[in-house]
Chain A
């Protein structure tokens, strides 16, 4: 690994910019993401910033069960993000559907549509856990171990 690759790895670890998308959440997890950049938890210490455009983001943060209505939007936003990118699923809903499982409007797990790198469990998870999840996703980006990077690396 040459010096530029090393520098790039450090920069990727130190600068996770997130974009949040609500794919049918009850809003509980979204309320917990807000405090991540507030004075109490201050995600900017690890360089975490919320971006308004998916094109500026490195990490896609998804909250809520994968509803049929939101599926197209989630796929579109994931496709718009420039590589390398990571996906962090917040709470139990993206994983299993949680209390919404079995609903005719819910499509099951998020990773049937986009590759998920980090699952943060909880209903809702605490802001500390969300920041830890984002930090871990940034570490995966630095090591080249996200699903997106692995897929690109294959011949």
Chain B
């Protein structure tokens, strides 16, 4: 009975839905505020992402004729559910999980589900812009997953295990630094921020894969994006940041490093312009591939 209540708490409150949403909305606010300050603007108020979410929930939903309503309504909830369960299997301050063999692989799958939902949402919408966006997003997964997956594989090779618990307590060394660089390179494309905002390129293909979405389904997509940010940072933290087994130090590291990752991503977004698909692809397969290869070589040889 005890464990059921604990699991329910983890899914609903921390680190699941409520806590994850609060943290995700905070990071999204940091991104908007910081890019506004960098452009010489004052930026949105603190609760802006939350207000946007509530407002969208309270709107009516319009579906174009010819769109199948079942996948249209289901996709945002599938994306949300997968990110919530991803958050629950990762140990964070205030939440310990029994690590099992292969849980890092499960985490990678859960990280990928929202992307697949986005791609399908683009095709389901029957909008030509949504379809262009879906195609671009599918292409980008092939690009950024090379350094991202290589970083995870190098760390697993180094630790000799696919368990999150073992990975977290593995000693840090040269391979950690190289794999962390490869993972860092992949983050902006995974979050669809500049210079890799190729799938959701506004002004270019209108509004990305969510173009036909409105009202509550759009709100759920926004929420799942906020949770995705948290989940991606959590993954970075368990893989590359040493664990001190000291409550205070670990909590400080958790929030400090997540926040600095968001600041880094925003700095990159505010100072660059969008690349073309071809150039982004080349960037990931040359520079991302180089970082990935270096991490793999050090992991296997060293």
Contact = CB atoms under 8 A, between A and B. Distances in A.
Interface of A: 7-8, 10-12, 14-15, 17, 38-39, 42, 44-45, 47, 51-53, 55-56, 58, 80-84
Interface residues of B, number: 34
Interface of B: 32, 36, 39-45, 47-48, 50-55, 57-62, 202-203, 206-207, 210-215, 218
B39 to A, nearest CB: 6
Contacts of A56: 207, 210, 214, 218
Contacts of A14: 45, 47-48, 51, 55
Given A17-B52, A52-B206, A53-B211, 16 more contacts: A8-B57, A11-B53, A14-B55, A42-B41, A42-B43, A44-B41, A45-B45, A47-B44, A47-B48, A52-B202, A52-B203, A53-B212, A56-B210, A56-B214, A58-B55, A80-B62
Contacts, number: 82
Given A15-B48, A56-B218, A8 B62 contact: no
A47 B211 contact: no
A82 B62 contact: yes
Given A39-B40, A39-B41, A52 B207 contact: yes
16 contacts: A8-B55, A11-B52, A12-B55, A12-B58, A39-B40, A42-B42, A44-B32, A45-B43, A45-B44, A51-B207, A52-B207, A56-B207, A56-B214, A58-B55, A80-B62, A83-B60
